Amino acid sequence: MRTYGQYCPIARGAEIFAERWTPLIIRNLHLGCQTFGEILQGAPGLSHTLLAQRLKQLERLGIVEVTPKAYGRGHRYLLTPSGDDLFEVCKSLGEWGARWLEIAPENLDPYVALWSMGNALRPDRLPDRRVVIQLDFTGYRPHERYWLIIEHTEVEICKTYSGMDEDLFITADAEAFVKWHAGQLSWAEATRDSRIQLHGPSWIAKAFPTWNSRSMFAHISHNAATTTTS
């Protein structure tokens, strides 16, 4: 690993934190991902090989603790107190990003919004039965279809038909859905002009937006950064 060769704590901390994918791995661990597959699922584009390298590095540095699973093969990955402190750096970076950075077209990945939503559901609002939701996303990216399966507090995102009957069908503009989850649009704003349409029993359609406690940064007021030219 390259270093800055400086004693400055910012330089030494950046050598770890600024490694590609490391902040997202720390985020996923904080959100409750404990297995290799769970961490990988929340980081589309991250390879198995690179994740294994990063986890070994974080374990060596005392940021992640690795223990065998209680049952079955594999390991559990947990943040140590050092890792919990490092997440606070991730949180500060996220707050800055939410306040000053625009959500650009290349950021509009509805899968990431669904994954994040699955980690932010409100258990007290969920129905006491399994619910299967088909979601079709349109907009900047090619058409994408997912199935969201919610049963009690367990959530599964499927990219292929699950074989279960759907309870709710949602067609959504990816930008409206992502910005609603991110807290930049209210549900009323997101559904305006039919940008998000729900088809199914009225009780599910009305309840759906109340299940999502939204991004941990949804409370941050967004300020468009200004660009100056000379």
Least Cα distance to 82 among 103, 62, 109 occurs for 62
Are 168 and 203 contacting, i.e. CB atoms less than 8 angstroms apart? no
Query: pLDDT tens digits, residue range 112-158?
Result: 999 999 888 998 999 999 999 999 999 877 889 999 999 988 899 99
Q: Look up the CATH architecture of domain 9-100.
A: Orthogonal Bundle (1.10)
Low-confidence ranges of the chain (pLDDT < 50): 229-230
Classify residue 203 as exposed, middle or buried by CB count within 10 Å of its CB (0-12, 13-18, 19+): exposed
Are 8 and 14 contacting, i.e. CB atoms less than 8 angstroms apart? no
- Using DSSP's 3-state secondary structure scheme, residue 66 falls into strand
CA 219/CA 120 separation, integer angstroms? 14
CA 9/CA 7 separation, integer angstroms? 6
Q: Give the pLDDT confidence score for residue 152 in this predicted structure.
A: 83
Total-model pTM: 0.88
Q: Does domain 105-211 have CATH number 3.40.50.300?
A: no
Q: Give the pLDDT confidence score for residue 40 in this predicted structure.
A: 96
List the domain boundaries for the chain. Answer: 9-100, 105-211
